[in-house]
Amino acid sequence: MIDSASIVKVFIPAAAAFAIGILFAPILTHYLYKHKVWKKVANKTALDGSMATEFAKLRENLHADTETRTPRMGGILIWATVIFVTLGIWILAQVLPMPLVQKLDFFSRSQTWVPLFTLVAGAVIGFVNDILDIHPSGERGIRLRTRLLFVMLISSFIGWWFYVKLGMDTIGIPADGTLYLGALIVPLFMLVSLGLYAGGVIDGIDGLAGGIFSTAFMAYAGIAYFQNQINLAAFSATLTGAILAFLWFNIPPARFWMTETGTMGLTLTLAVIAFMTDTPGSGYGIAALPIIAFPLVVTVLSNIIQVASKKMRGKKIFRIAPLHHHFEAIGWPSYKVTMRYWIISIVCAILGMTVALIK
């Protein structure tokens, strides 16, 4: 049965996040442009470490100098807005004993602390990477292996928390099945986190990442709601509202890009929420993840296939990897790639929600 109070608890924080994000964006944009928070040297490299000549040709054909003229760190808008709304409502609930404010508070130890911690942890590491990435020397931020190590450390801690503190040792299989994993739940979470983080390179075309992530978190807001995890649903919806505010300014021509301070926090948080909505017998958040995050999965697979083909066959499968740049290289306008990815993402979100709620 749909509870109107729960609907309000989910929708009002989401709307507030969108509105606050819209208001905050011009301030952030002014700061990013004033301090020229963009790469000073365009130094795109391929997956195998060589110079990305095909990508350079693509950008040259598109007359795009955006890499050294478009500010980075737009992801700040997302996580700063989420923190402001989450903690802001919580503080109001402590100082204003009004029934409406009390009902809106979704900051809870059981459902909100872990995803919020993950979002902030990933955002901070990504922020440091972005700071280094805009250095005049043209350095490329934190080395990939170091970033992967950070992801492994964060995800191992959270995986341990799921197993030891929350007693999670099984995952749901649709149609009322369960799979017992025991302590293997920890490496599984690490693997999922690494996979989603690798998909963060989808932040490569104006508007693409914002559309994909907003749809994914919206889907999990619905899944959490129907599992009666209302606080988690409200948090996911708040993320959606903040991402949509970011997307408002990221559609072509983008005012800023999300970059690591956005993608690292969002991908790791998506993994956390997927696991938190996995309750055998009443929800299958993990089984739904490859469907809901299908655009991210395809992005990772296209990179793996490209590297493997170059190593084993000496030639490429795609003109450029990841896949969305391949479509650009064969002549699709960037806006067509973005909008078609949005459509696929919405369809996948609907299918994923259906799988997650099978009983």
pLDDT value for 246: 98
Average pLDDT over residues 124-144: 85
Q: How large a percentage of the chain has pLDDT more than 90?
A: 78
Q: 349 near 214, Cβ under 8 Å?
A: no
Read off the pLDDT of residues 296-341 as tens digits, 9 standing for 90 and up: 999 999 999 999 999 999 889 999 999 999 999 999 999 999 999 9
This prediction has a pTM of 0.93
Confidence (pLDDT) at 278: 93
Q: At what angle do helices 75-95 and 230-250 cross, to 10 degrees?
A: 140
Contacts of residue 338, Cβ cutoff 8 Å, sequence gap at least 6? 205, 206, 207, 208, 211, 252
Q: Is the peptide bond before 253 cis (omega within 30 degrees of 0)?
A: yes
Q: What is the pLDDT of residue 174?
A: 86
For CA atoms 267, 124, 241, 327, give the dihedral sign: negative
C-alpha Rg value of the chain to the nearest Å:
20
Q: What is the pLDDT of residues 188-228, one digit of tens each?
A: 999 999 999 999 999 989 999 999 999 999 999 999 999 99
Q: What are phi and psi of 178, to 5 degrees?
A: -135, 150
pLDDT digits (tens, 9 = 90+) for 66-94: 666 789 999 999 999 999 999 999 999 99
DSSP 142: S
358: left (phi over 0), alpha (psi -120 to 50) or beta: beta
- Report the pLDDT averaged over residues 118-145: 88
DSSP structure class, residue 252: S
pLDDT of residue 358: 84
Residue 184 DSSP code: G
